[in-house]
Amino acid sequence: MNPFSIIWKFLDRTYHRLASPREFYGIAQYMTPIFGLLSLALILSGAYLGLFKAPADYQQGDSFRIIYVHVPAAWLSLMVYTIMAVAAAIGMVWRMKMAFVVAICSAPLGAVFTALALITGSIWGKPIWGTWWTWDARLTSELILLFLYFGVMATYHAFEERKTAEKAMAMLSIVGIVIVPIIHYSVEWWSSLHQGATVFAEGGPRMPSDMLTPLLLMIAGFMFFYGYALFLSAQNMVLNNERKSRWVRDLIQNTGDSQ
């Protein structure tokens, strides 16, 4: 058999499984503890290496260590919005129920990562810039991103009819994706106090390996934590959306019988 046809059949089967609320719920139940354990292991490892093993920065001293929370949070704030916008577009085009669930459940998680990035950035900026806040291009655009997350959540909850709420939320998510490249390139397009790319810089990372390794571990840990929290939130939303379905009633009954 043609290997391309094998891959296509696998992707098609996976797509249809993820598109089904019942199948997604089963997959999420299996993957949630895995993502949770991986997240915990990576974050603990990264935090230990970053706080206790990495050397102090020659200019910023130990204050640079907040990078191990700030950078992963900032990275996730952009990644989550991108996932949310792509899921919203898939939901709009193919009317996939689970795409809307992923988009809606991603919004509050992205808002938390964005708020954490702004808070840790302010804490880091105080000793370096001498102020808690400045209307720098990167900071200002990241603040706009936080408002976009709030807007997506408010838009969804502003409508009683679920399909209308999903469409309105999806449209705002898709339109707002323009903020992601603006944030990413803000330090290049405008005069900025914020430092440029360090990890994904042109020519390779600009950090020694004993500083870079814990940072990469923390980024990976934050990514798995997002997956863990997304699966938990999506399971709850699926059960609520599909509460009238036969499989949900059977699941509730079986859970009650087992207790």
Sort residue 45 into left (φ over 0), alpha (ψ -120 to 50) or beta: alpha
Long-range contacts of 122-126 (CB under 8 A, 24+ apart): 123/66, 124/63, 124/66, 124/67, 124/70, 125/193
For residue 45, what pLDDT is reported? 98
- What total number of domains does the chain contain? 1
Q: Is residue 251 part of a domain?
A: no
For residue 133, what pLDDT is reported? 85
Sort residue 52 into left (φ over 0), alpha (ψ -120 to 50) or beta: alpha
Could you list the residue range(s) of the whole structural domain that residue 106 is in? 29-50+64-238
Length of the chain: 259
Q: Please, which residues have CB within 8 angstroms of residue 161's CB and are 6 or more apart in sequence?
A: none
For residue 61, what pLDDT is reported? 77
Q: Is residue 232 part of a domain?
A: yes
pLDDT tens, N- to C-terminus, the chain (259 residues): 566 676 666 656 666 667 789 999 999 999 999 999 999 999 999 999 999 999 988 778 788 899 999 999 999 999 999 999 999 999 999 889 999 999 999 999 999 999 999 999 999 888 878 888 888 888 999 999 999 999 999 999 999 999 999 999 999 999 999 999 999 888 777 766 666 667 666 666 778 889 999 999 999 999 999 999 999 999 999 999 998 898 888 888 887 666 6
Q: Is residue 199 part of a domain?
A: yes
> What angle is formed at CA 93 by the lines to CA 92 and CA 97, rounded to 5 degrees?
55
Please, are residues 85 and 93 in contact by the beta-carbon 8 Å criterion? no
Q: Is residue 162 part of a domain?
A: yes
The CATH code of the domain that includes 224 is 1.20.120
Q: Is residue 33 part of a domain?
A: yes
